[in-house]
Amino acid sequence: MAGRVVLAYSGGLDTSVAVHWMTAELGGEVIAVAVDVGQEADFEAIRQRALAAGAVEAVVVDAKDEFAADFIAPSLAANALYEGRYPLVSALSRPVIVRHLVAEARRHGAGAVAHGCTGKGNDQVRFEVGTRALAPDLDILAPVRVWGMTREATIAYAEKHDLPITISRDRIYSIDENLWGKAIECGILEDPWAAPPEDVFSLTVPTATEPVELVVGFEAGVPVSLDGTPLRLVDLIAKVGAVAGSTGFGRVDMVEGRRVGIKSREVYECPASLALIAAHQDLEGLTLERDVAHEKLRLEPRFAELAYDGMWFSPLREAISAFVTSTQQHVTGEVRLRFLPGGGLDVVGRRSPVGLYDHGLATYDAADSFRHEDAEGFVRIFGLGVKTWAAGQRRGLTGEST
User: Which positions are catalytic?
Assistant: 14, 94, 123, 174
- 105: region left, alpha or beta (phi > 0 left; psi from -120 to 50 alpha): alpha
**CB-based contacts of 147: which residues, under 8 Å, 6+ apart?**
21
Query: What Rg, from alpha-carbon coordinates, does the chain have?
Result: 26
**From its phi and psi, is residue 109 left (phi > 0), alpha (psi between -120 and 50) or beta?**
left
- DSSP designation for 188: G
Burial of 337 (0-12, 13-18, 19+ CB in 10 A): buried
- C-alpha 51: how far from chain center: 31
CB 31 within 8 A of CB 110: yes
In this structure, is the dihedral angle defined by the CA atoms of residues 33, 39, 41 and 43, taken in order, positive or negative? positive
The three-state secondary structure class of 34 is strand
Work out whether the CA dihedral 311, 316, 322, 323 comes out positive or negative.
Answer: negative
Measured between its terminal Cα atoms, the distance across the chain in Å is 82
Burial level of 302, CB count in 10 A (0-12/13-18/19+)?
Answer: middle
Q: Distances in Å between the alpha carbon of 350 and those of 149, 278, 286?
A: 54, 12, 8
User: Cα–Cα distance between 322 and 315 in angstroms, integer?
Assistant: 10
Residue 276 C-beta-side C-alpha neighbours within 13 Å = 34
